[in-house]
Amino acid sequence: MNNQYFMETALDLAARGAGYTSPNPMVGAVVVKNGEIVGRGWHQKAGGPHAEVHALDDAGDLARGATLFVTLEPCNHVGRTPPCTRKILASGISHVVMAMTDPNPDVDGCGADFLIRNGVTVETGVCEQKARRLNEIFIKYIQTKRPFVTLKCAATLDGRIATRTGDSKWVTGPAARNYVHELRHQMDAIMVGINTVTNDNPRLTTRLEEKNGVDPVRIILDTHLSIPEDANVLHTPSAADTIIVTGNLDLSRKRERIEKSGTRIIVSDLKDGRINLDALMNQLGGIGITSLLIEGGAMVSASALQAGIVDKVCFFYAPKILGGDDGIPMCRGTGPELMRHAIPVSGITVRQFDGDVMIEGYIIQDKQPCLQAS
């Protein structure tokens, strides 16, 4: 067994914190002595002990003279918990291997420097790319104060998310839909347009069979505050908030009634008569939303791509064909005239959920999107 094996074990532990650690990163750690793992830990929830603390407590006296493998640079500052670097020194760890330094520009390298100054040897860069992908949400948010945005669509093989009547139940099968609920569990917030609310009346909650998932904050784009007052999203029992984003400045009785029911209303800037999604990302980041899952519909998807706010796409394709040109497309609006102006996607991976296929990839951010929503 080598360093990569031990770090991958720590990364597997870190992933157990998905959905529970925001706004903190997911971190895992293992203590290794004489080639054997003697302590394991991961960051289990925001405000709780960090991964290093769990792993060192698990190792006990065996930590003295051992090596600590940790997926992120140990903290050297006081937050809601004491600095992990002090715990490492007190345990007698002699060597620390970390996958990556802290992406926070204010603290990058501080933990490693402190350990080195106090006689601990430090190694970095083991499984770094895997560690960065695991914490892609944290990395973007800590550096930009804007949420990491994932666009999810589910379509037939000929690219339709619903029939001409708006029927979309169900495009994909149970396994794919369960994975979407896992995505909801992992994200701080989920966003849809008002047409999705009026047509489908969704609850936008997390429903997982194997565990109690965390509901995301529900965000509704509703430029004219036209949401039906009996919509499910306004009356769903949940610990997560519902936020309506509107451009309507009128303090109407309807707005007062909606706010009295516990729903929050945010007024956002408009662009071409629609919510300015780029400006909205700054607003959402400002209230602590680190990640956002966009689930539709077609106009919102096109607007998000046009605004350049999408970081990652998860497109599901079901093994079925509508066979006409009158269904609802994945994106609705005017696209580019030339194929070379299409939005490039990199880092493609493919997964299968029974008969459904998911294509996942990352938007290349230095390319300007060319869609025009209509």
What amino acid positions are annotated as catalytic residues? 52
| C-beta separation of 216 from 188 below 8 A | yes
From the CB of residue 200, how many other CB atoms can be counted at a distance below 10 Å?
Answer: 18
Q: Provide the pairing of β-strand 312-318 with 148-156.
A: parallel
Distances (CA, A) of 287 to 25, 290, 363: 18, 9, 25
- The answer for residues whose C-beta is within 8 angstroms of residue 119's C-beta and 6 or more apart is none
Q: Do residues 186 and 18 touch, judged by C-beta distance below 8 A?
A: yes
Characterize 173-197 residue by residue with b for buried, 16 or more Cβ atoms within 10 angstroms of its Cβ, and e for exposed: eeebbebbebbbbbbbbbbbbbbbb
Closest CA to 123 of 184, 190, 204, 68: 68
Extract the tokens encoding 17: 């914190």
Centre a 10 Å sphere on the Cβ of residue 276 and count the other Cβ atoms it contains.
18
CA distance 63 to 35: 13
Asked whether the beta carbons of 108 and 101 are under 8 A apart, the reply is yes
Q: Residue 69 in contact with residue 10, Cβ under 8 Å?
A: yes
Comparing C-alpha atoms, which of 305, 276, 297 is closest to residue 369?
Answer: 305
